[in-house]
Chain A
């Protein structure tokens, strides 16, 4: 039985990253894999459970959200610590999954490129990844709830097949799956989302002209 470890790089244990991690675990478990999901954030003070699992696995799958166009800061911390403990890295396959609010692949793809460079310098075999847009809107619901649900779910399944076979997964899979709509539709989406933001602010008693709490330099 092959071993795979899925690392949840999101601080949340119940959002879209975890939905994708769970789907990945389910898929691989049905294909003769022993799969473990480990969370980064509860282990930030002591990464040894992650290092042990990585050392024992043949495949590592990193799943996380896109914060300002790449993985969150603490993913960098994990990679730096892995580099310091390089003895746990010995040619394993590395796959990345990144999901973010914007619908475009190009917004989030830098996260995967970082993993590829990391793998190249640290004796891992980078085998590709998958990018999912509008992940924030999903908020943990299955992929088929997306506007491009069918394509996204089918592309992700194909990606998982590649992971199970320990084969390379090409970017064309997630490029093909991304949502493509005319600019006018995005303008309409922006209008609807902005109305919701403004309504939310009003309901919280925050006026449109209210200053940020950080505008007060005396903040402690």
Chain B
């Protein structure tokens, strides 16, 4: 199962990607963050203590996280600002640690963590009207660190008005399904 977690972009990148995957008969679920409300992680320790594996705060993460538990490929479509995920995207990403493997592993001589649920591939599609090279580098490094720490496969695409078609085509072609 491919899950697209999509924050709103003017170019409707998430929706277009969803159509492309469905055209190819790839099992896809599309989650729009537009009307969902996920609260902050308060680092209260509840998910490692009283309600082990579950956030004690009730919000729309209760809708998203169960879907992510059944996901093999997670695609995040996010507007990018200052080289980072959007606020809404990051709120849910922060909470993904709850369903992540808590164990540590070693890869290439460094400590890493385990995957989120059964996700084996993480794809981040950053969207801007226009990219500057320094911001591209910051976003690319961030996503590469995310892929590294989750110890899974992944890739990053940086979309703007000039390359939207080719980027989405490459993202679909690059999926290991």
Contacts and interface: CB of A to CB of B under 8 A. Distances in A.
Contacts of A79: 81-82
A73 to B, nearest CB: 4
A65 B69 CA distance: 26
Which applies to chain A's interface (DSSP): helix, strand, loop or mixed? helix
B126 interface: no
A34 interface: no
A125 to B, nearest CB: 16
B134 A117 contact: yes
B43 A65 contact: yes
Contact of A72 (B48, B90, B96): B90
A140 interface: no
A217 interface: yes
Given A72-B41, A183-B110, A212-B117, A107 B149 contact: yes
B49 to A, nearest CB: 8
B53 A212 contact: yes
Interface string B92-106: 011011110011111
Contacts of A204: 49, 52
A217 B134 CA distance: 41
B160 to A, nearest CB: 17
Interface stretch (A46-54, A98-106, A144-152): A98-106
A197 B103 contact: yes
Interface in B7-57: 40-44, 48-49, 51-54
Nearest to A115: B82
Interface residues of B, number: 52
B129 to A, nearest CB: 14
A44 B42 CA distance: 12
Contacts of A182: 109
A11 B109 contact: no
Given A73-B87, A186-B106, A80 B94 contact: no
A113 B93 contact: no
Task: Give the one of B58, B82, B99 with max A CB within 10 A.
Answer: B82
Contacts of A201: 52
B64 to A, nearest CB: 9
Nearest to A215: B69
Contact of B41 (A11, A102, A106, A194): A11
B83 A110 contact: yes
Nearest to B102: A197
B62 interface: yes
A99 to B, nearest CB: 12
B174 interface: no
A38 interface: no
B110 A121 contact: no
A115 B142 CA distance: 13
25 contacts: A67-B97, A68-B149, A70-B90, A72-B40, A72-B41, A72-B94, A73-B40, A76-B84, A76-B90, A102-B111, A103-B111, A110-B138, A110-B145, A113-B138, A113-B141, A117-B82, A182-B109, A183-B106, A183-B110, A190-B106, A206-B52, A212-B117, A213-B51, A214-B62, A219-B66
Q: Which 7 A-B pairs have the closest CB atoms?
A: A183-B109, A73-B90, A190-B104, A213-B54, A117-B82, A110-B142, A73-B91
Interface of B: 40-44, 48-49, 51-54, 58, 62, 65-69, 81-87, 90-91, 93-94, 96-99, 102-106, 108-111, 117, 134-135, 138, 141-142, 145-146, 148-149
